Chains A and B, each alone.
Chain A
Amino acid sequence: MNWKITKNNKPIGIADIPRGNVQQLRNALINQCRQGKRVVSFFGHPDRKGMVLFAVLTDDQNSRLLVACADLGAERAYPSITPEVPALHLFEREIFEQFGIEPQGHPWLKPVRYPFRRFDPSQNIGNYPFFRIEGEDIHEVGVGPIHAGIIEPGHFRFQCRGEKIHHLEIQLGYQHRGVEELFVGPINPGEPRFKPHLAERIAGDSAVAHATAYAQIMESLARIEVSRRAQAIRAIALELERIAVHVGDLGAISNDIAHLLGSAVFGAIRTAVINTSLSLCGSRFGQGLIRPGGVLYDLDDELKERMKRTLNKVLEDVIRMSESMLATSSVLSRLEKTGIVTKQQALDIGLVGPVARASGVAMDTRADHPFGNYRYFPIHKITMPGGDVFARTFMRYVEIKQSVNFILEQLEHFSREGSLSDPVENLMAEGFCVSMVEGWRGEIAHVVLTDIQGNPVRYKIKDPSFNNWLGLAIAVRNNGISDFPLCNKSFNLSYSGHDL
């Protein structure tokens, strides 16, 4: 079976996507994954004749995307691909939950996010089939869905022997809002054509990243290129978001191990960073800045200077605090060798983002599939061996330094020529487009299918949390249950990004 080769943000016609039967798609997919391709998205979409399964793979070495689809017709089942390609496990569960298409032989066919299965309402969140270990010394600890502190809802069930975690099962879905369905349309008259506000709320801490992916996909369908000026502002906002969350995470990690100074200092630095976003666009989380066609707020010379000063100060403070904290023996004793994810595990389950890079997997959408201004200012991929909490912490520290320097470079080359925003019109009819953005958490992928008027008929979102939640469950195995919060902070995954 052939694959349609495309690129990040390059639209193709749905009709151009090679179509085969499920067996062909399955073989081709397994074949490609054995050759080192990764799964970006795998989803079902019912068309007039029946269910169609779409697969999007990425070829990171050549910055290419591979797309193919399979007609299921009236069939309701197919042999599961997960036993061969474990990274697909959640995508197959998702398709089963949404459409009742059963991946036969799937080892872990459980609900993903719905309160009940769309095709079998008797399967609901109340009778979620938790994995259980039986034995005299085994005890079960359930945490959530309501947590202490400001944390989104999610249920964690630990099977422990004494203080040691044997197995953690994470059950999500409490934040499901039907975001993907809301992107379809406009269906009703008067409904806005573009929904950037919705994109900003897929995951509140990745507002800029998701809004960028959404804006890019709409611009690609309209076959326009936004001005370098708007692209630079987008890149600055995206990196500010990365810095802010990474600094906040360093603070949260210090807080979890009761390192007071780190917690206080990183908290203060984070405020300086998010206030920079505030002065750029009026929102500390970068909402309301990015719209299809460009950006809504300009960057003037005064703000540019202020940003430079703040970021230089931030850089200096982060370096001083991190160097001192990460050299404290009591801190290292908590971080090192805690929550290890090996490189092979990371590759198998398809981890993305800084978490994968901390396990030694070299992948960064900004470098592998450059978009926006990253095409002109290449980002160097950073990896670390180890895969423990220390590696994930140190990765954040290194990425903060990288991002600050990237923004400073952007500010140096910033020119106010070109328009801030261009009209986005004439969206491609019956088109298919993939837009990938490296959010602070990792690879965000939006996929859109349009109808004859160019309106989305299917909008598929993949937040990096979707890939990485299983990574957390793997990481905490054989660790002390009291180290779980620390492992959790080192991943810092989004519940709403997963639940959509």
Chain B
Amino acid sequence: MLTILVLLTVSPLFIGIINRVKSVCAGRQGPGLLQPYFDYLRLFRKSQVVSPATSFIFQLAPTISWTTVFFAGLLIPFGPRPAVISFPGDFILLAYVLAFGRFFALLSAMDTGSSFEGMGASREVTFATLVEPAFFILFSTITFLSGFRSLSDVFAALHQNDSWTLIVISLSVLILFLMMLVEGSRLPIDDPNTHLELTMIHEVMVLDNSGPDLGLILYGTAMKLAAIGLLIANLLVPPGFDMPFLMVLFLGILFVLAVAIGILESSMARLRMVHVPQFVLVMTSIGLLILSFVFFSIGGHR
């Protein structure tokens, strides 16, 4: 329950922090931290324009995308507090709920019939295909290591105080951080600030959306970023902390992640499009590394 509350309330602030860090690094004053809240509010108050070339899918898709992220939030535990929905193998549902949302976003992009949006959809699906194996390899590894199959149990059981676990956790955090950049369409994969249609991935798919639909899409992306951030926090925070301090720890980790993304975005240029698959495949290779490591060295759960 706490996860979904944090996602709903804190995720726009997460984007706000990234933007603020970027502006400070560039020597600008930058927008206020709460600007994303005002942006989403403004979009929700607007009316929307719908292209006559589109079908009902175009209007349905933003709601579905947002709902899938919301549902994903129900599957993510908050430290020792189990997720709202928790059952063995729930991480598979987590992956495919998000994939379902993406599927509708892709359909909606194709629905507009614009060559830009088709191009964006093609890019998005290419990179998503490459992210999926990384996600499954990672979660198979940690379920294998912990011996449990639902996310809530996995995270609780993972924290054995030995060096093996530490190595596995730190590599997993690295994978999830890279996944955050890909899923949240951040640098160096995608440039959330660009106006150049030809270079966009995620942004170009929503060029035709406006008003509340656009608000939902942006809100959903922010929530997705924060959701992966919470997965990282779950990996990092060992059990045994209680409520006020647990909250501080989780929010602190989210803050650090936002600052890290902000600094990363300020310090490098975007990847060339043909190099993006290589970047994404790095996640899969690290995942395979952990898997083989766990499999051969530790030999499964203890």
Contacts and interface: CB of A to CB of B under 8 A. Distances in A.
B272 A480 contact: yes
Contacts of A483: 272-273
Contact of B119 (A257, A481, A485): A481
B198 A482 contact: yes
Nearest to B27: A264
Given A141-B115, A142-B115, A484-B198, A260 B22 contact: yes
Contacts, number: 84
B195 interface: yes
A184 interface: no
A60 interface: no
A293 to B, nearest CB: 43
A35 interface: no
- Which applies to chain A's interface (DSSP): helix, strand, loop or mixed? helix
A41 interface: no
Contacts of B123: 163
A333 B270 CA distance: 9
B269 A328 contact: yes
B53 interface: no
Contacts of B196: 148-149, 256, 485
Interface in B25-61: 25-28
B155 interface: no
A263 interface: yes
A259 B119 contact: no
A141 B117 CA distance: 11
Contacts of B270: 257-258, 330, 334
A330 B274 contact: no
B271 to A, nearest CB: 7
A483 B265 CA distance: 19
Contacts of B269: 254, 257-259, 328, 330-331, 333-334
A264 B26 contact: yes
Interface in B240-293: 265-275
Interface string A466-497: 00000000000000111111000000000000
Contacts of A328: 268-269
Contacts of B266: 260-261
Interface in A346-371: none
Contacts of A141: 115-116, 119, 198
Contacts of B28: 264
Contacts of B119: 141, 481
Interface in A224-276: 254, 256-261, 263-265, 268
A465 to B, nearest CB: 20
Contact of B27 (A163, A265, A480, A485): A265
Interface in A299-337: 328, 330-331, 333-334
B297 interface: no
Nearest to B190: A258
Contacts of A166: none
Interface in B98-137: 115-116, 118-119, 123
A139 interface: yes
B1 to A, nearest CB: 38
Contacts of A484: 198
B183 interface: no
B96 to A, nearest CB: 27
Contacts of B271: 330, 333-334
B289 to A, nearest CB: 24
B194 A258 contact: yes
Nearest to A158: B198
Contact of A261 (B25, B187, B197): B25
A140 interface: yes
Contact of B195 (A149, A163, A260): A149
B161 interface: no
B199 interface: yes
Given A260-B26, A265-B27, A485-B198, A139 B115 contact: yes
B191 interface: yes
Interface string A5-48: 00000000000000000000000000000000000000000000
A141 B198 CA distance: 9
B188 interface: yes
A90 B196 CA distance: 29
B282 to A, nearest CB: 15
A258 B197 contact: no
Given A258-B193, A261-B266, A334-B270, A485 B275 contact: no
Nearest to A329: B268
Nearest to A483: B272
A143 interface: yes
A148 B198 CA distance: 11
Interface of A: 139-143, 148-149, 163, 254, 256-261, 263-265, 268, 328, 330-331, 333-334, 338, 480-485
Interface of B: 22, 25-28, 115-116, 118-119, 123, 187-188, 191, 193-199, 265-275
Given A331-B268, A483-B273, 19 more contacts: A139-B115, A141-B116, A143-B198, A148-B195, A163-B123, A163-B273, A256-B199, A257-B269, A258-B188, A258-B265, A328-B268, A330-B268, A330-B269, A330-B270, A333-B272, A482-B272, A482-B273, A484-B198, A485-B196
| 9 closest Cβ pairs, A-B complex | A264-B26, A258-B270, A257-B269, A330-B268, A482-B273, A258-B191, A330-B269, A485-B196, A148-B195
16 contacts: A141-B119, A142-B115, A143-B197, A148-B196, A163-B123, A256-B196, A260-B22, A260-B25, A260-B266, A263-B26, A264-B27, A330-B188, A330-B268, A330-B271, A333-B271, A485-B198
